Structure 1
Amino acid sequence: MSPAKVMIVEDEVIAAMATARMLKKLGFDVCGNVTSGEEALLAFDGECPDIIIMDIRLDGELDGIETTRQLKLRRDVPVIFVTAYSDDSTRTRAEATKPLAFINKPLDISQLEHILSNLSIGGK
């Protein structure tokens, strides 16, 4: 079985690089790494990810929640929200998109591994 493809949507370059390293260590293929919701929408169809790691606060006009809503209109792909912001109104908006999980920053490899191990789409 080939590794599951993960797209990272994260506006902090160092955080995105760290996430990509963790995913590769866990046996996943990083198929895209973009910094804005607009870029995610453009890359989504061509990359065809099996899962998306999505920051809630992004560069550009679209936040991660609105980006996720628009992506799920195209295809119901699992999304893991990663954020440093977890106030009640943000979390309520995000929950409406039915994410796979929420992870608070900084991202921890063991927490990521636990969430991804429950999927039937690959990794190691």
Structure 2
Amino acid sequence: MSQPTTILIIEDEMIIAANISLQLTTLGYEVTGIIPRGEEALMHIEQQQPEIVLLDINLKGKIDGIETAKIMQRSYNIPIIYLTANADEANFNRAKETNPYAFISKPFKKLDLQRAIELTVARIEAENNPKSTSEDKLAPYILSDSIFVKHLEKMVRIDIKDILYIEAERNYCRIYTKSKEYLLVMTLKDLDEKLPSKHFIRVHRSFIVNVSQIDELAANHIVIGKKAIPVSKALKEELLNRLQTI
């Protein structure tokens, strides 16, 4: 079985750090340490390299988070996600030089943290598999009644009847079910071509919906599980035709 992604937290506000650690563990990641100072973090990384570093920009001590990142990058190529309470223009420009994978502003919501980590993991996978296409191991396997998608480095099965809708996030897709979300390294267009048309329909450039899950139909949107999803004019007629044939 695949090992969970390892993450180091470099944060000097220990209550925040402990909260982040708990959230990451709940999401299935492995926290390799919680370290309050950049100097200590660099020593830790020499002994135990994580796959991702969550790094507070405004660290107390001799070196701040950005300087810590610069020193780390001389020896290691570890993706960085910055945490910041007040990134002014000067610090933001300094931070950009280290090519971070994401910025999370404090105070942040659990979903902000989750998505930043998921997108970073997906980007790492894509970079490690530069020839990845919708046909390779990152792509979902479509069966008649379910699909298998990559989630936390495992292939998990999702019953088609449980899928509510799918939303585009640039070159990624997020599948929403009643209880979970799954991020795919795949465009909505590519996924639309693979999904069984008898169950799914594209209603907007950013949304595919499970026809059987539609609760309400309004003038310019539909409702699924209390979520209002826009319907584009160009696709509305096809949607109405589909609903009439069910």
Q: Whole-Å Cα distance in 1 between the matches of residues 94 and 69 of structure 2?
A: 11
Q: Whole-Å Cα distance in 2 between the matches of residues 123 and 7 of structure 1?
A: 17
1:88 partner letter? E
| 2:94 is aligned with 1:93 | yes
2:41 partner letter? A
| 2:21 is aligned with 1:37 | no
2:31 partner letter? V
Runs of 4+ in 1 over 2 A off after TM superposition: 120-124
1:52 to partner: Cα distance: 0.4
Aligned to 1:72: 73
How many residue pairs align between the two structures? 124
Q: Is the 8 A contact 1:7 1:53 kept in 2?
A: yes
Q: Whole-Å Cα distance in 2 between the matches of residues 44 and 107 of structure 1?
A: 26
* 1:25-75 C-alpha deviation (Å, 9 max, x unpaired): 111100011000001111012121000000001121000000001111111
Q: Is the 8 A contact 1:83 1:105 kept in 2?
A: yes
Aligned to 1:60: 61
Identity %: 35
Change (3 A) 1:17 1:123: farther
1:83-122 equivalences under 5 Å are 83-118=84-119, 119-120=121-122
* 1:64-93 C-alpha deviation (Å, 9 max, x unpaired): 000001111111100000010111111000
1:16 partner letter? A
Q: Which protein has the larger Cα radius of gyration, Structure 1 or Structure 2?
A: 2
1:115 to partner: Cα distance: 1.7
1:107 to partner: Cα distance: 2.8
- Larger strand fraction of residues: 2
| TM-score, normalised with respect to structure 1 | 0.94
1:112 to partner: Cα distance: 1.4
1:111 to partner: Cα distance: 1.1
Aligned to 2:16: 15
1:112 partner letter? L
Q: Which runs of 5+ in 2 are unaligned?
A: 125-150, 154-246
2:110 partner letter? I
Q: Is the 8 A contact 1:54 1:81 kept in 2?
A: yes
1:101 to partner: Cα distance: 0.5
- Alignment root-mean-square deviation, CA: 1.4
Q: Is the 8 A contact 1:82 1:107 kept in 2?
A: no
